[in-house]
Amino acid sequence: MPAAYLYYLYAQTLAMTIFSKIIAGEIPSYKIAENDRFFAFLDVYPLVEGHVLVVPKVETDKLFDLEDSYLSEILVFAKPIAKAIEKAFRCNRCGISVIGIEVPHAHVHLIPINTANDLNFTRGKLNMSKEELKIVQEKILMAMEE
Protein backbone atom coordinates (compact mmCIF):
# COMPACT_ATOMS: atom_id res chain seq x y z
CA MET A 1 0.00 0.00 0.00
CA PRO A 2 1.24 3.49 -0.75
CA ALA A 3 2.43 5.47 2.27
CA ALA A 4 -0.08 8.26 1.57
CA TYR A 5 -2.97 5.81 1.81
CA LEU A 6 -1.64 4.33 5.05
CA TYR A 7 -1.35 7.85 6.48
CA TYR A 8 -4.94 8.54 5.37
CA LEU A 9 -6.14 5.43 7.22
CA TYR A 10 -4.11 6.41 10.29
CA ALA A 11 -5.56 9.95 10.24
CA GLN A 12 -9.09 8.54 9.98
CA THR A 13 -8.45 6.41 13.06
CA LEU A 14 -7.24 9.45 15.00
CA ALA A 15 -10.30 11.42 13.94
CA MET A 16 -12.74 8.75 15.15
CA THR A 17 -14.94 9.74 18.07
CA ILE A 18 -14.70 7.82 21.31
CA PHE A 19 -18.06 6.21 20.43
CA SER A 20 -16.71 4.96 17.08
CA LYS A 21 -13.72 3.51 18.91
CA ILE A 22 -16.10 1.75 21.33
CA ILE A 23 -18.16 0.39 18.44
CA ALA A 24 -14.98 -0.81 16.71
CA GLY A 25 -13.90 -2.59 19.90
CA GLU A 26 -10.82 -0.39 20.36
CA ILE A 27 -12.16 0.77 23.73
CA PRO A 28 -13.89 -1.74 26.01
CA SER A 29 -17.54 -1.19 26.86
CA TYR A 30 -20.45 -2.77 28.69
CA LYS A 31 -22.50 -3.66 25.61
CA ILE A 32 -26.25 -3.93 25.97
CA ALA A 33 -27.35 -4.43 22.35
CA GLU A 34 -26.12 -4.14 18.78
CA ASN A 35 -27.38 -4.47 15.25
CA ASP A 36 -26.02 -3.41 11.86
CA ARG A 37 -26.93 0.28 12.47
CA PHE A 38 -26.79 0.89 16.24
CA PHE A 39 -24.79 0.09 19.34
CA ALA A 40 -26.01 0.45 22.95
CA PHE A 41 -23.75 0.39 25.98
CA LEU A 42 -23.61 1.58 29.57
CA ASP A 43 -22.49 5.11 30.28
CA VAL A 44 -19.42 4.54 32.47
CA TYR A 45 -20.08 7.86 34.26
CA PRO A 46 -23.85 7.55 34.64
CA LEU A 47 -26.33 9.94 36.19
CA VAL A 48 -27.91 6.90 37.85
CA GLU A 49 -27.46 3.12 37.68
CA GLY A 50 -28.87 1.82 34.41
CA HIS A 51 -27.88 4.83 32.25
CA VAL A 52 -27.46 3.53 28.68
CA LEU A 53 -26.22 5.28 25.54
CA VAL A 54 -27.68 4.37 22.15
CA VAL A 55 -25.39 5.35 19.30
CA PRO A 56 -25.72 5.05 15.53
CA LYS A 57 -22.75 3.34 13.93
CA VAL A 58 -22.52 6.10 11.36
CA GLU A 59 -20.52 9.01 12.73
CA THR A 60 -22.71 12.12 12.64
CA ASP A 61 -22.35 14.97 15.11
CA LYS A 62 -25.97 16.07 15.54
CA LEU A 63 -28.93 13.73 15.93
CA PHE A 64 -31.12 15.64 13.48
CA ASP A 65 -28.41 15.49 10.82
CA LEU A 66 -28.92 11.71 10.63
CA GLU A 67 -30.80 10.28 7.67
CA ASP A 68 -34.54 9.93 8.34
CA SER A 69 -34.30 6.14 8.44
CA TYR A 70 -31.78 6.35 11.29
CA LEU A 71 -33.95 8.80 13.19
CA SER A 72 -36.94 6.50 13.15
CA GLU A 73 -34.99 3.30 13.69
CA ILE A 74 -33.02 4.56 16.70
CA LEU A 75 -36.22 4.66 18.78
CA VAL A 76 -37.33 1.22 17.62
CA PHE A 77 -33.87 -0.12 18.51
CA ALA A 78 -33.99 1.64 21.92
CA LYS A 79 -37.48 0.44 22.86
CA PRO A 80 -36.63 -3.06 24.19
CA ILE A 81 -33.65 -1.59 26.06
CA ALA A 82 -35.87 1.04 27.69
CA LYS A 83 -38.40 -1.64 28.67
CA ALA A 84 -35.59 -3.72 30.19
CA ILE A 85 -34.31 -0.71 32.15
CA GLU A 86 -37.82 -0.23 33.58
CA LYS A 87 -37.88 -3.88 34.68
CA ALA A 88 -34.34 -3.94 36.06
CA PHE A 89 -34.39 -0.76 38.17
CA ARG A 90 -36.79 0.87 40.61
CA CYS A 91 -38.05 3.74 38.50
CA ASN A 92 -41.23 5.39 37.35
CA ARG A 93 -40.12 5.11 33.71
CA CYS A 94 -37.17 5.15 31.36
CA GLY A 95 -36.44 8.74 30.39
CA ILE A 96 -34.82 9.71 27.12
CA SER A 97 -32.55 12.66 26.49
CA VAL A 98 -30.47 14.05 23.65
CA ILE A 99 -27.69 16.39 24.71
CA GLY A 100 -24.78 15.77 22.36
CA ILE A 101 -22.36 18.35 23.74
CA GLU A 102 -19.57 16.22 25.22
CA VAL A 103 -19.06 13.79 22.29
CA PRO A 104 -19.52 14.93 18.66
CA HIS A 105 -21.36 11.74 17.72
CA ALA A 106 -25.17 11.61 17.75
CA HIS A 107 -26.55 9.59 20.64
CA VAL A 108 -29.55 9.09 22.90
CA HIS A 109 -29.44 8.66 26.67
CA LEU A 110 -31.82 6.11 28.23
CA ILE A 111 -32.06 6.74 31.97
CA PRO A 112 -34.24 5.21 34.68
CA ILE A 113 -36.07 8.16 36.25
CA ASN A 114 -38.53 8.94 39.01
CA THR A 115 -38.57 12.74 38.62
CA ALA A 116 -37.61 15.21 35.89
CA ASN A 117 -34.56 16.14 37.97
CA ASP A 118 -33.16 12.65 37.32
CA LEU A 119 -32.40 13.91 33.79
CA ASN A 120 -30.41 16.89 35.08
CA PHE A 121 -27.00 16.59 33.43
CA THR A 122 -25.51 19.39 35.54
CA ARG A 123 -25.58 17.10 38.61
CA GLY A 124 -22.60 15.04 39.60
CA LYS A 125 -22.20 11.68 37.94
CA LEU A 126 -21.68 8.34 39.64
CA ASN A 127 -18.21 6.87 39.83
CA MET A 128 -18.91 3.15 39.54
CA SER A 129 -16.39 0.31 39.72
CA LYS A 130 -15.98 -2.20 36.90
CA GLU A 131 -17.71 -4.77 39.08
CA GLU A 132 -20.70 -2.48 39.69
CA LEU A 133 -20.99 -1.69 35.97
CA LYS A 134 -20.89 -5.42 35.14
CA ILE A 135 -23.76 -6.05 37.60
CA VAL A 136 -25.82 -3.25 36.00
CA GLN A 137 -25.11 -4.67 32.54
CA GLU A 138 -26.21 -8.14 33.63
CA LYS A 139 -29.44 -6.78 35.17
CA ILE A 140 -30.41 -5.09 31.91
CA LEU A 141 -29.42 -8.09 29.76
CA MET A 142 -31.44 -10.46 31.98
CA ALA A 143 -34.47 -8.14 31.80
CA MET A 144 -34.19 -8.08 28.00
CA GLU A 145 -34.42 -11.87 27.93
CA GLU A 146 -37.66 -11.97 29.97
- Residue pair 77/35 in contact (Cβ under 8 Å)? The answer is yes
Burial bucket for residue 113 (CB in 10 Å: 0-12, 13-18, 19+): buried
107 annotated active-site = yes
Residue of 51, 105, 107, 109 marked catalytic? 107
Query: What is the largest distance, in Å, between two alpha-carbon atoms of the chain?
Result: 57
Residues 107, 109: Cα–Cα separation, whole Å: 7
The answer for residues whose C-beta is within 8 angstroms of residue 75's C-beta and 6 or more apart is none
Q: Catalytic site residues?
A: 107
